[in-house]
Amino acid sequence: MGEPVRRIDGADFQPGIRLLARLARVAELACQQTGISLPQYRLLVSITGAPQRASELAAHVGVSRPTLTSLVDGLEAAALVRRVPVLSDGRGIQLAVTEAGREAVARAEQALTRRFVDLAGPDAARVVEQLVCAIGAALDRETPPRTS
């Protein structure tokens, strides 16, 4: 007979939820030190693999459409993204990351990594990797695929 299954309730996650809120602020400050905001970082990461339709990115990045427009305007003015017409849709626009945008992502990720390693210490890397893999896989299963 195996171990009894332990029921998880909201109280088990409360410290982690509060920690995530604090870490979001740490991430925002680390990104800002590299010249981009955390929402700009999320947008750049979302389009780094391949251009994405602007109309689909707002939900994926977690912002409203007006906020997305503002983010894109700022990133375009900084030459980190460019708007590209969708050939099959005369009104459609895709967002593509520029080389400068890729460099901004790399700088932000270096700053984020340094900050989180400073906080957690090198011995926490294995535990963090396991947690990130488990939660990332769960998020991937519930996120519908994006279309180009």
Q: What is the CATH number of the domain that holds 112?
A: 1.10.10.10
Is residue 92 in a domain? yes
Q: Is 47 exposed, middle or buried (0-12, 13-18, 19+ CB in 10 A)?
A: buried
Is residue 117 in a domain? yes
Is residue 123 in a domain? yes
- For the whole model, what pTM was predicted? 0.78
Is residue 5 in a domain? no
Is residue 71 in a domain? yes
Confidence label for 75 from pLDDT (cuts 50, 70 and 90): very high
Is the per-residue pLDDT at 145 higher than 60? no
Q: Is 44 exposed, middle or buried (0-12, 13-18, 19+ CB in 10 A)?
A: buried
Tens digit of pLDDT for each residue in 81-107?
999 888 887 778 889 999 999 999 999
Query: Torsion angle, CA of 74/38/93/49, rounded to 10 degrees?
Result: 130
Is residue 37 in a domain? yes
Range of the domain at 76: 31-142
Is residue 91 in a domain? yes
Is residue 66 in a domain? yes
